[in-house]
Amino acid sequence: MKRRDFLKTSVLATAALAGAPLAAEAKKEKPRVQAYRTMGKTGLKMSDISLGTGGLPSPSMVLRAIDRGINYMDTAPDYGSSEKYIGEAMKKIQRDKVIIATKFCTPYSYPNHLQQGSKKKEYITAVEESLMRMKTDYVDFCLVHAIGESSRNVENEKKRLLDEEMLFAADELKKAGKIRFLGISSHGPDNMEDLLLTAVTSGHYDLIMPSFNFMSFPRLPDVIKEAKKRGVAVVAMKTLAGAKGMDFDSKGQPFEPAAFKWVLNHSEVSGLVISIKTVSNLDLFLSASGQKFKASDRKILDRYVQRFGKEYCRTGCNQCESACPERVSIASILRYQMYFDDYGMEKTAMKHYTRLEAKAEKCTACANRSCTGACPYGLDVSALLRNAHDTLTFIA
């Protein structure tokens, strides 16, 4: 072989070897949905990891999620532009291949769910406007949203979930083919388990969406067992126990898949919804799909509890609030602080806070600290509230 030919062959071989890892990387299978679960008596099957659209960045993220096998989308009129983005994506989606859940809400900044006393026409109008934004003729589920958040009176909230105007509207919308099933959601802070159980046993609801994670809600397993017995689907949210895992060093192992696998280890759960804002989120979160919860996952969660157990407010607990002489909305305030610190939703959190009647400004001069003494998890509630007030208050 001539020297010139030898050099040419060597260069090509070297280039081929250098390119091999790139080619292998290009061919590497991206994480996809590996399991679908039946949604109670509806007969629908949802991807076990599904798309929550709070903070949805663009229509393309909807298309990316669907391309990876996600078929369930949870949205609401007060989730920013999410319904509009879904509508843009729907131009390229076969409608019967996806399941869409929205809420009885108005299209302004969260929270704008329809309250007790709303008329049938308001419920119908809210759904029809959602359909127009999403460019679809129907939604699969429409939910009474955030039960237990807007009132500390459990009887008032029970009236909201059994409101005749809402139920008449739902029946009319079903007959018109504009919604298929009725659902309800709750992340507390008040009476979450009692309210969800009322919904499950009422016979009106086909789906419940509770906050459910490895650090909260000891009575919730009984509720979801009853739901399964009655054919009511369970879709979990707030599965990351404060979502502090972004800054969590668990010996090089990601925290989020372990948290998801813990939730999905409960056979009563049809699936979970999680906000997906980036392709890296999509890759990481889908790595938990169809996977078993292992001892190694338990160790990751145990380390998380050790690190954050006295920082994370269990929003469905609310045992400290009755100890506050000023009746400050402790659980809601600390949830909004979580949105600010851990969800990257700073503007939204501050807007929520300004709407509260019982804010934490009085905590700055309070020497009582009875709230801290009442926390069963050892959180320094008083200090957390003072910090939240400083963080969430608009300064002119």
Interaxial angle between packed helices 154-161 and 192-202, expressed in degrees from 0 to 180 and rounded to the nearest 10:
30
CATH 3.40.930.10 fits 36-303, yes or no: no
The pLDDT assigned to 8 comes to: 47
- State the pLDDT at residue 246: 54
- Name the pTM for this structure: 0.85
pLDDT for residue 156: 80
Q: The dihedral of CA 52, 72, 270, 299: what is its sign? A: negative
Strand partners for 271: 235
pLDDT of residue 9: 46
pLDDT on residue 150: 62
Q: What is the DSSP letter of 183?
A: E
Q: Give the C-alpha distances (Å, rounded to integers) separating 84 from 62, 141, 276, 348, 349.
A: 11, 17, 16, 18, 22
Instruction: Please report the pLDDT score of residue 3 as a whole number.
Output: 44
The pLDDT, as a whole number, for residue 241 is 87
Q: Where in the chain is the domain with CATH 3.20.20.100?
A: 36-303
Please report the pLDDT score of residue 58 as a whole number.
Answer: 96
Pair of tokens at residue 219: 């009575």
Rounded Cα distance between 352 and 113, Å, is 13
Residues of the chain below pLDDT 50 = 1-4, 6-18, 21-22, 24-26
pLDDT score of 366: 86
Exposure string over 354-388, b if 16+ CB within 10 A, otherwise e = eeeebbbebbeebeeeebbeebebebebbebbbbb
**Residue 270 corresponds to which tokens in the numbers above?**
């049809």
Percent of the chain with pLDDT over 70: 88
pLDDT of residue 166: 96
Please state the length of the chain: 396
